[in-house]
Chains A and B, each alone.
Chain A
């Protein structure tokens, strides 16, 4: 499709398990963003890529969170040793330039049990 694609749509992980969430941005979009949305909250910024460069990772909540975009296209958000507080919807967005033209994917709902 032409939109931002995220997989899997749903993920159930046992506490302590590592997970990897994938984002396929719109082709040609330079900027890529990850946001975390906890239940009943608005999305919160995690990290930002411009092409393959991670320019800001200030929103990553701990060193268990790691994001990469090695070829400037597909991005993966990895969470190591998942904990219950990691349960949330993880949203990816991409844009040609600024966040104001960003398109969001449907998100990955992560549940840690």
Chain B
């Protein structure tokens, strides 16, 4: 049973437009959410995170929105650039829950292609 779901395997966006990547989760114990970016043949790189006590976190061109009631989060990239082309993973943890708080549960990823 997948606890973190990224239902879109791929997404294509024109350069300069907004990219929206979506993620759903089922485990209500998750209280911290992260987005990782992965280029081919490299390890995942931390991008941005959000605690469950917030509904929005912004860092430059990247904004993460969290809707706890819907168990849904999204990553917005504005404006999208060709260098943003990568696989984006959504991940969740139970940071405040003690046992397992260091574990990350990942989605399957969404491949973003930004077209020049």
Interface residues of A (CB under 8 A from B): 4, 31, 33, 35, 40-45, 48, 56, 59, 91, 93, 98-107
Binds A, one of B13-21, B37-45, B54-62, B68-76: B37-45
Give Cα distance in the complex from A106 to B41, angstroms: 7
B102/A43 in contact, CB under 8 A: no
**A98-B95, A100-B32 as given contacts; A106 in contact with B106, CB under 8 Å:** no
B95/A42 in contact, CB under 8 A: no
Give Cα distance in the complex from A68 to B36, angstroms: 26
Q: Which 10 A-B pairs have the closest CB atoms?
A: A42-B106, A104-B43, A45-B103, A104-B44, A99-B102, A43-B106, A42-B108, A106-B43, A105-B43, A42-B107
**A98-B95, A99-B93, A100-B34 as given contacts; A93 in contact with B43, CB under 8 Å:** yes
Give Cα distance in the complex from A34 to B93, angstroms: 16
A-B contacts counted at CB < 8 A amount to 56
B103/A43 in contact, CB under 8 A: no
Interface residues of B (CB under 8 A from A): 4, 32, 34, 36, 41-46, 49, 89, 91, 93, 95, 100-109
User: What DSSP secondary structure best describes chain A's contact surface?
Assistant: mixed
B116 to chain A minimum Cβ distance, whole angstroms, is: 27
Contact of A98 among B89, B102, B108 (CB under 8 A): B102
Give Cα distance in the complex from A35 to B41, angstroms: 15
Contacts of B34 in A (CB 8 A): 100
Give Cα distance in the complex from A60 to B10, angstroms: 30
B104/A4 in contact, CB under 8 A: no
Contact of B49 among A33, A42, A45, A100 (CB under 8 A): A100
Interface centre among A33, A43, A91 (most CB of B within 10 A): A43
B42/A106 in contact, CB under 8 A: yes
Contacts of A59 in B (CB 8 A): 103
Give Cα distance in the complex from A43 to B87, angstroms: 12
A-B CB contact pairs (8 Å), 13 listed: A33-B102, A35-B104, A43-B104, A44-B106, A48-B103, A91-B43, A93-B43, A98-B101, A99-B103, A99-B104, A100-B93, A101-B46, A104-B36
